[in-house]
Amino acid sequence: MRIAEAAHRSGLSIDTIRYYEKSGILPEIRRGADGQRRFSTENIEWLTLLFWLRETGMAMKTMYRFASLYQAGDQTIPDRKQVLLAHAEHLKKRRADLDRCEEMLAYKLAIYKDHKG
């Protein structure tokens, strides 16, 4: 598939896909005889993963590390797993922090509930 469809399926913009490709964070993207990118299922899976990793706040540096581990082969699976486990822990902490923020806002809103104006 072409880049527009890859963007649609992954949730990333065309510019972001081009940036990720140039940066080496994606597995190789095959090109057709016309020189245009032809995205494979594996490419789409990677793009979708990258979308969600960024959406959850993973640092680009960590994403690059994860991608380089993937490109190094299956012997890096334990390291890749560790990267994802560390990110999952980060998300748990972030979720707890957001829950505390929501509680504080609810408290303040309750104070203002009967205020006119």
Q: What is the CATH number of the domain that holds 69?
A: 1.10.1660.10
The residue among 116 and 66 whose pLDDT is bigger is 66
pLDDT at 66: 95
Residue 100: inside a domain:
yes
- Dihedral (CA of 84, 15, 44, 51) sign: positive
Length of the chain in residues, anyone? 117
Find tokens 């990333």 and name the residue: 12
pLDDT band at 28 (very low <50, low <70, confident <90, very high): confident
Closest by CA to 65, choosing from 79, 51, 47, is: 79
Question: What is the C-alpha end-to-end distance of the chain, expressed in Å?
Answer: 55
Residue 20: inside a domain:
yes
pLDDT band at 113 (very low <50, low <70, confident <90, very high): confident
Question: Does this model's pTM top 0.95?
Answer: no
Copy the structure tokens of residue 102.
């929501």
DSSP assignment letter at 28: P
Taking residues 51-61, what's their average pLDDT?
94
Taking residues 10-14, what's their average pLDDT?
94
Number of structural domains, the chain? 1
Residue 54 CB burial class (10 angstroms; 0-12, 13-18, ≥19): middle
Other beta carbons within 10 angstroms of residue 74's beta carbon come to 8
34 pLDDT more than 80:
yes
Domain that holds residue 88: 3-112
